[in-house]
Structure 1
């Protein structure tokens, strides 16, 4: 749309990409920590469930062994049947052994026996109320590890109930061992462990060194370890993918916002007005014979914060296409009113101020009110306002005639701007009463060349003389052009030979300098 638009587009694209990247990182990080927290809570909950199950199992086992403790005072023949039935109805129990004075004398599996308990389990501490050991096997099942639990009888010395248990303490353990996001479970007793990593008892040092969490049982020298990674590559991949999707969506939404909301038709013009990005410059207009300043054309400029100076032709055409030329011209009127007190100090009474008016504004509902407001905001009876009507759009003949008559009655003068470049130049002269013809710089540049536009310029000047119309030559850049135009009866000059368009402070200084162009 404007100069440097490609650079601005690249900046917007870069901003969208950076925004998308930041969103992707934030979403990925958030997703990762959410997943990590969920896994952490899941593992803690699972470990607590296992702990509760095992604690409950051992509590039930103790209740059973407490019921068997009085049997220690009897012979195996007397209590063998009860001992066997208790083992049959106890979950995961291989055998109950009754121990008296350190001697195992009765087994629920084999009946009467006479074996020192320490010969069966040398590391067992029968002085404890409860002790636990792990064995690689039992006489009946030598190749299958077992958990050995000792419950001391409080009434007899070195006496109590000794229980051997299968390692599959619950189907729950087998279930958890099959989960994809678990590494395994281990039951640790002293320096030994039974785990899902091996079918045999292993040393604790042989357990995996991966992340694990541990639970203990109150009153029982046994620990439960749950091995599970805090995160998996699947979690990372999912977080990255989710972050990428969020980043792409954020970048696209930002792009959509910039181009359909922030830069929607007219939004940038209104935003520029709001943030005072527009400013006014003044180009002196001089009388040809004396080169005295008779006024100035008021020109609007746009200094965009990112794009920089935007050419007037670009933003004027854009404002017209977006139907924003009316608010833009209204803003121009306000800027002129702000500068008017200073202009009054340097321009004589009757100085002409040329202001460009688009046909769409001329035919707009607010035009007369805008003109009245402009007139009332300027110093009374000091400036002669000249409304310069462009040829870019066709005027409505009936409406324009009435408006021109109204403007003349209100004290305004009318000029046809860029005469000869539009599609309706001669029609304007035939149908409307105007005061000035402003000759386009394209014709002025042709002076002294063998181009087809030179005869056209001669014809324009001849026509203006016959119609008794004043002429203003735009874009006069050299003394040769100025002399050529003077010799052919042009009335006013403006252009770089006189001065560039100047900001107000520069215009005031220029008016005060003595070395202006002379013949």
Structure 2
């Protein structure tokens, strides 16, 4: 494909990814904002309904108190002392319009008219207690709440002004009208139609003390209005975030395309650096070697672990020169310190199947070993199983050449891969590394311990050395020592550290 067309196609792919990422962000933002707005509207409405319920209950408490005070006069003749007591209850409460004594279904004494007779229809009262009506005598049309306290066959009827309650309902109904319902009767704020249970979004909150309910209904238009008034700025923020994410995805997609170029550039700039983790003798726990681990000193992302770039380096056929660069750095740092290193100190490098197809590995190992001729060291190559190593003439000759140089070959993370036993059968290896997933379960999981025992027994039968990775506490170390593991490695003896810090240990 011509470079120009390839470049255009890559650009389109990056643009599509960026647009899809932005649309996904907008969709998530829209769903999140709508859900939050709806939840807030329901919560706000519920709080206002609770406040309205409390308001009505407080008003009815005034009526209950007035009725309780005059209860002792019920059945007494409507004389001046009784009338005075009724009028005093009206004077004490701004909500009370009148207090009336009732015999049967007829008022016989009133705080307004004194000795006065008026029929009442107790059947219309909800639970025999509450009734909503309009004033027909003094201030026609004024809303009244009737509270009735039943005492035997008689009762006390307290009439309350409803203006205050309706006014407070109007104030509480800033974005959504509320209503007061008593039985089938209902008052609504803002003169809206009565609320019905079959209306969309119908809500009600009943009082546990008096037979009334606060009602409301949240229609789809109410959600839309609330969303626009209170949540539009959140949606704008999501749009801005979607734009930022789209740009980031577009740029990140471009980095993916040039990842190989970035790896090659990092190799040229020597950004791949060695970290060292000590390996100790299983008998004495003295330092007897180290594992050299590759890290990427990225100029913007900092120190990156090998899992983030080694697989890509293998796919790009860069793992060989990267390993070679690592061996060169180690050689230059430690050759001047060769006389300070313990006898038979070993350096272990991780290699993959691709290394066994390139005879340059033999030459790199030869140069490395010969550089320490003044105090010979041992070189260990730890074979990882990220890629399958196929036994053929090339690999057999390469392994033979490495053994002639005195290079030791170990199988890394033995027991976790699919080809560990096949490697033992097809290649002449020298050591097995027990994976840290088994070591960490010593004293915890019996199965892991059995696996370790089998690996140690297998190594003993094949006359192979053993290295236990991930040793983190003394209990693990004691068990491994008792079972004659050759070398121990883990945080108990030291974490991976930069090369300069590791070399500094030999000056002390």
TM-score, L = length of structure 1: 0.47
TM-score normalised by L of structure 2: 0.48
Query: Which structure would you say has the larger Rg?
Result: 1
